Amino acid sequence: MRKYVIMGVQGSGKGTQAKQLAADFDLVHISVGDVYRWHVQYHTKLGAQVRRAMNAGELVDDSTTETVVRDRLALHDWNYGFILDGFPRNRRQAQFFLESYDVDAVIHLDLPDSEVRRRVLARRLCSNCGMDYNLIEHRPAREGRCDACGGELVTRADDTEEALAARLADYHAKTDPALELFRGKELVISVDATAAKGAVQRAIREQLGLPQPVRKPQADRRR
Ligand code: AMP
């Protein structure tokens, strides 16, 4: 049984790294943001309650979020363990978590604000079909146009310098203290998240003492 929490600023690759660990070690990936998005999409009572905070990019209140996490973990569908992504986001949530559950490790993806800025400000979205682009990793073939439908590529409304600066300040003010609490319990492993995805995954596994991903054999070039 493995119980992990993964923490890191927006754009640090938490979702990607969590999904790979979950797939290879049969862990249940629990993303609190995904749970909330599901409720908003299906117009549940909880969805109506949290929609405003989500649309404003604010945190949902702690007691609602703690209930969501408690109910989700109470399903006990995680025979081999879980990886919790997006929770805790502040000191109170971290305290709640430590009082209610034991955790094997907190994986901290460490990314400097300058790199977050570079990654987030490179994001583009097709105004017609919604396909995501990133001018660093996934450039369109024709500048400013969607490869799939030719639609115009635009920046998300909340991906501006000012909005990002506010999100980063909020993250540091609220989530750094949660990380500090876990650090005090010697639960945190920190990984340099500026590296490529594969290297980040290997670094996480090395620090957690987990087996490394199996490399796919190279295609047979003789054929
Ligand atoms: P995320 O996908 O992690 O960015 O989460 C999307 C939204 O869900 C956030 O902007 C918050 O409104 C809400 N949310 C996710 N996790 C939490 C949390 N631990 N505490 C409060 N609100 C959260």
Cβ 53 under 6 angstroms from ligand 1: yes
Active site includes 51?
Answer: no
Binding-site entries for Zn(2+): 126, 129, 146, 149
Instruction: Give the whole-angstrom CA distance, residue 102 versus residue 27.
Output: 16
**Per-residue pLDDT averaged across 34-44, rounded?**
94
pLDDT digits (tens, 9 = 90+) for 171-184: 999 999 999 999 99
Q: CB neighbours (10 Å) of residue 117?
A: 15
Judge whether residue 123 has pLDDT over 70.
yes
Q: DSSP string of 125-185? A: EETTT--EEETTTB--SSTTB-TTT-PBEE--TT-SHHHHHHHHHHHHHHHHHHHHHHHHT
Judge whether residue 91 has pLDDT over 50.
yes
**Per-residue pLDDT averaged across 99-113, rounded?**
96
Active site includes 215?
Answer: no
Instruction: Give the whole-angstrom CA distance, residue 146 versus residue 141.
Output: 8
CA 174 to chain centre: 16
pLDDT given for residue 170 in this prediction: 92
Cβ 60 under 6 angstroms from ligand 1: yes
Helix ranges (DSSP H) in the chain? 14-25, 32-41, 45-55, 62-74, 91-100, 113-120, 161-184, 197-208
Active site includes 167?
Answer: yes
- Given the structure tokens 């001018």, which residue do they identify? 135
* CA-nearest residue, atom 2 of ligand 1: 33
Query: Of 129, 158, 123, which is closest to residue 146 (Cα–Cα)?
Result: 129
pLDDT given for residue 85 in this prediction: 96
**Per-residue pLDDT averaged across 102-106, rounded?**
95
Least confident of 16-20, 67-71, 194-198, 217-221: 217-221
pLDDT given for residue 210 in this prediction: 95
Q: How many angstroms does the Cα of residue 36 sit away from the middle of ligand 1?
A: 7
pLDDT given for residue 217 in this prediction: 63
24: CB partners within 8 A, 6+ apart: 213
Measure Cα distances from 107 to 41, 94, 97, 222 in Å.
29, 14, 15, 42
Cβ 30 under 6 angstroms from ligand 1: no
The single residue of 3, 123, 145, 174 carrying the catalytic annotation is 123
Residue type, 118: R
Instruction: Give the whole-angstrom CA distance, residue 152 versus residue 154.
Output: 6
Which of ligand 1's atoms lies nearest the C-alpha of 53? 12
pLDDT class for 218, splitting at 50, 70, 90? low
pLDDT digits (tens, 9 = 90+) for 132-172: 898 988 899 999 999 999 999 999 877 889 989 988 999 99
Active site includes 156?
Answer: yes
pLDDT class for 223, splitting at 50, 70, 90? very low
Cβ 89 under 6 angstroms from ligand 1: yes
Active site includes 222?
Answer: no
Backbone dihedral region for residue 140 (phi beyond 0: left; psi -120 to 50: alpha; all else: beta): beta
* CA-nearest residue, atom 14 of ligand 1: 33
Cβ 59 under 6 angstroms from ligand 1: yes
Select the more confidently predicted residue: 44 or 158.
Answer: 44
* CA-nearest residue, atom 12 of ligand 1: 54
